Structure 1
Amino acid sequence: MKSDRAENALLVSPGLLLLALAFFLPIARMLMLSVMGPEGFTFSHFAEFIREPYYLNVLWRTIRLSFIITLISALVGFPLAYIMARAGPRLRLWLIIVILLPLMTSVVIRTFGWMVIFERGGIISSTLYDLGLVKRNFTLMRTETAIVIGMVQVLLPFMTLSILGVVSRIDEKLEEAARTMGCSFLQAFRHVVLPLAMPGIAAGSLLAFTLSASSFVTPSLLGGPRLQVLAASIYSSVTQTLDWHFAAAQAVILFLGIALTLIPYFRLTGGRHG
């Protein structure tokens, strides 16, 4: 028994060491920077963030866009995951390949592709102009719509695969029993599949929200400097104003905000699903 515990401790120690060096140590350093000033311990950096309407707007934009992106990803990903779970082996394989294929391409390259599509003279602008729906100088670049579309495309595979793992384990006989009792397809889907798939939806939503809230590349390229999110604001504080303490304070706010999303997740899943 003792030897088993020693072996388990030996096996887990490299992972714990890596976690300590790559996660806990940087987080601790960030926390120290956020409360340190020229005269020692201070909360002035957090007070500055709260006092400035600009940074509060950045924080609100980050939360609002992350929620919208997560909601759209769930609305698209859940039906797609259900179709994949109920499809035949060959169709399921091809759908999984289609879902995973974007992950094999750098997010920077995919975002540049969206920039070409959204820019003036791109496919969307030209098509809408030919239909007489917009003016010649119309562009989706540097808009929140562009950020949402680009981020949904990035996060949809994570949402779909998180839900797929749960939906695949739902017994089809439960749906058949509901249909036998007089439920329509939509009623069986709503009262049987949706509640049982909730752990997967919650896990996928948590993953999509956290990745969206902390994303830097796609929002920066598609939104531009005028529509900054919190991650871009942190980057600006480090590289432009060289204010590491204020950047650390913003990072702590972002970290705490993401950590708070675990509360509704555990309430939805009852703390039983990871």
Structure 2
Amino acid sequence: MKKLYPYLLLSPLIFLGAIFALGVCNALIQSLGYIPAFEMRELTLDYYRAVISDPALFASVKTSLHTALVSSVISVVAGVAICSMLVSLRGRSSGRIFARMTDIIRIPILVPHTVVAFFVIIIFSQSGLLSRLMYAAGAVSSPEDFPMILFGRDSAGVIIGYIWKEAPFVAYFVLSFMASIDDRLGEAARNLGASPLQSFFHIVLPLCLPVINKAFVMIFAFAFGAYELPFLLGATTPRALPVQAYIEYMHPDLRHRAYAMAMNGIILIITLGISVIYYWMTKKAEKIEGKHYE
């Protein structure tokens, strides 16, 4: 019974993982044109060929990559900075203040993306709070003169929404590891003449890089494959790839679901490929860094 106990504890995770794996396999099979409910029983790559041959696909992939990369990089930088400030705050104040600050950081993580889109529209639209404040301050002659941040081809509104969600996630993800680093390492560096900033970049940050890399891959994969914010805040042309897949899935002709699943398959392949490349690059960098210290 003791041997089975760990598996019993993991059974909910195994069950959910199995459901997820079955869903992915089902989507991949449907992307090959096998959907018996719609009298589609022949496996074919024609749907992938049709999607890949569409010039709009490359524009959609470019939009999704741009949104995911820019938002992930900015979120990682902002999240690490927030995490560093929290760790510094823990050393200067009581544990109660530190706990309250971490609770505040946790709030954006819990807010749904649809609500985030609502906040972004209220604040950054041409009729939103920021444009009205600038109009009241005399910075613009009318609210309509406020820059068009939302629904543009540069996906600025989508990126703002992702940063608001992902930067706190990175901070919360890295916080426990950064807080566990021995303070004596930084003290030793400062005794040898290093500034606090040099101590952070040469000691704390390299030690946290493996955790930061994992956080980057997670938020990049999510931002590349998510559709809520691009659907609500993104441009109508070119659409992000997940949005285009969603539109094909909701097409009145149910046979178009094979095209949607083919797009989802492309999203999965691109995400896995980029994650593998990024993982390989970080591992190679860690080996080089390890040889350097040896």
TM tier, shorter chain? Answer: 0.7 to 0.9
Give the structure 1 partner of residue 83 of structure 2.
Answer: 81
**One of 97, 105, 123 as aligned partner of 2:111:** 105
The correspondence of residues 207-226 of structure 1 with structure 2, limited to 5 A, is 207-226=218-237
Question: How large is the RMSD of aligned CA atoms in angstroms?
Answer: 2.4
> How big is each residue's C-alpha offset from its partner over 1:41-63, in whole Å with a ceiling of 9 and x where there is no partner?
22222222221121111011101
Q: Which runs of 5+ in 2 are unaligned?
A: 35-39, 287-294
Deviation (angstroms), 1:128: 4.4
> How big is each residue's C-alpha offset from its partner over 1:46-92, in whole Å with a ceiling of 9 and x where there is no partner?
22222112111101110111010001101111011011122132332
Give the structure 1 partner of residue 2 of structure 2.
Answer: 4
Give the structure 2 partner of residue 54 of structure 1.
Answer: 56
Deviation (angstroms), 1:106: 3.1
> How big is each residue's C-alpha offset from its partner over 1:95-129, in whole Å with a ceiling of 9 and x where there is no partner?
21211123343332231121122222222333445
**One of 25, 29, 33 as aligned partner of 2:30:** 33
**Aligned partner of 1:142: which letter?**
F
User: 1:141 touches 1:222 (CA, 8 Å); kept in 2?
Assistant: yes
**Aligned partner of 2:24: which letter?**
I
The correspondence of residues 1-274 of structure 1 with structure 2, limited to 5 A, is 3-20=1-18, 22-36=19-33, 40-88=42-90, 89-129=95-135, 130-132=138-140, 136-138=144-146, 139-143=148-152, 144-240=155-251, 242=254, 243-263=256-276, 264-265=278-279, 267-268=281-282
User: 2:33 touches 2:43 (CA, 8 Å); kept in 1?
Assistant: yes
> How big is each residue's C-alpha offset from its partner over 1:127-177, in whole Å with a ceiling of 9 and x where there is no partner?
445314888344322121111111111222211111112211111111111
Distance 1:30 1:124, change over 3 A: same
Q: Between Structure 1 and Structure 2, how many residues are aligned? A: 268
SS at 1:5 equivalent: coil
SS at 1:226 equivalent: coil
Distance 1:58 1:161, change over 3 A: same
**Aligned partner of 1:213: which letter?**
F
Q: Which runs of 5+ in 1 are unaligned?
A: none
Distance 2:238 2:196 in 1: 43
Distance 1:197 1:127, change over 3 A: same
TM-score normalised over the length of structure 2: 0.82
**Aligned partner of 1:53: which letter?**
P
What percentage of aligned pairs have identical amino acids? Answer: 23
Distance 1:109 1:17, change over 3 A: closer
